[in-house]
Amino acid sequence: MQDKLEQVAETILEEANSILEYTFTFTKDISISFRGLLFVVVALIVTAFVLKLLRKFITRKIPPNDKVKFVSVFSYIRWVVFIAIFLVAMDASGVNVTAIFAASAVLLIGVGLALQTLFQDIISGIFILVDQSVHVGDIIELEGKVGRVLDIRLRTTRAVTIDNKVLVIPNHLYLTNILFNWTENGTQTRESVNVGVSYGSDVELVRSILLVAAAKHNKILKKPIPKVLFTDFADSSLNFKIIFTLNDSFETRFVQSDLRFEIDKKFRENGITIPFPQRDVHVFQQPL
């Protein structure tokens, strides 16, 4: 009875060993046994478990905002580690990794070209997160488009415009274009309205009207106080600029519009005219 059990056990072991030694052949240079395949799978599972523990250990004392940024960066690092462990495990299982690269060289070149912009976006995203040149809530201007940053990811940055439209900005544009961060030095921004008046106008009265118009608006900060600049003696007008400070740059065009309405009203009441260019056209008729 014992001999029969030993014989059955040996048979099972031989069958299991034959299964483990079964080889999947893809080409004459590329093949892998079932044992090797199991080794690769186990290596990836262990790697995932270790990376998860490592992430929890590193982020346990990181502030919530920085934790989100680190997790975003870590998610891409994890894929790099997975690829490296996969290749090492394949090589340890007896797979000719060089042959795999040689067989897929054309495919890898095509994928590399296709992913070039993607990698540029990812690298730029890492620079943004590490350098912290842009934060959520900042108002930025890029390629003439202005928006308040809603979300910074590794590949894209989302921002909402003044018209409540969402901009999805590829991060590589930060490396190839000049970025204006309106709120890098705080939420306050300095804005202005330009106006021209006719020659002969009372310039002191013009300055007083501009300052009163700015002082009356509830969204213009009292400190720093608004200022009026006499900017130029132009061809047909005396040019002035009223400079004021806002706490929300998204309100700029609405505040500027309100000021223009108020300035036009006060100019009319005080007999101050806003000139427009005029040209005299002389027609000379040649004698017949």
CA-to-CA distance for 27 and 100, rounded, in angstroms? 10
Question: Which pLDDT value is given to residue 166?
Answer: 87
Tokens of 128: 């943004």
CA-to-CA distance for 76 and 118, rounded, in angstroms? 12
CA-to-CA distance for 93 and 174, rounded, in angstroms? 43
Question: Which pLDDT value is given to residue 196?
Answer: 93
Looking at the predicted structure, is the pLDDT value of residue 114 above 60?
no
If DSSP codes are grouped into helix, strand and coil, which group holds residue 187? coil
Dihedral sign, Cα of residue 63, residue 65, residue 67, residue 69: negative
Q: Are 266 and 206 in contact (CB under 8 A)?
A: no
Looking at every residue in the chain, the average pLDDT score rounds to 78
- For 277, which DSSP code? -
Looking at the predicted structure, is the pLDDT value of residue 107 above 60?
no
CA-to-CA distance for 82 and 47, rounded, in angstroms? 7
* Cα 43 off chain centre by: 35
pLDDT in tens, 213-248: 999 999 999 888 999 999 999 888 999 999 999 887
In sequence order, which ranges of the chain are alpha helices (DSSP H)? 2-20, 34-59, 64-92, 97-103, 105-114, 116-131, 173-176, 203-216, 252-269
Q: Are 210 and 268 in contact (CB under 8 A)?
A: no
Question: Which pLDDT value is given to residue 70?
Answer: 67
Tokens of 8: 């059955």
Tokens of 112: 């590399």
* 166-170: strand order across its sheet: 166-170, 156-160, 145-152, 139-142, 179-181
Q: What share of the chain in percent tops pLDDT 70?
A: 69
> Using 50, 70 and 90 to split pLDDT, how confident is the model at 190?
confident
In the chain, the domains with their CATH numbers are 10-103 (no CATH), 133-181 (2.30.30.60), 189-269 (3.30.70.100)
pLDDT in tens, 75-87: 777 777 887 787 7
Question: Which pLDDT value is given to residue 229?
Answer: 94
Question: Which pLDDT value is given to residue 148?
Answer: 87
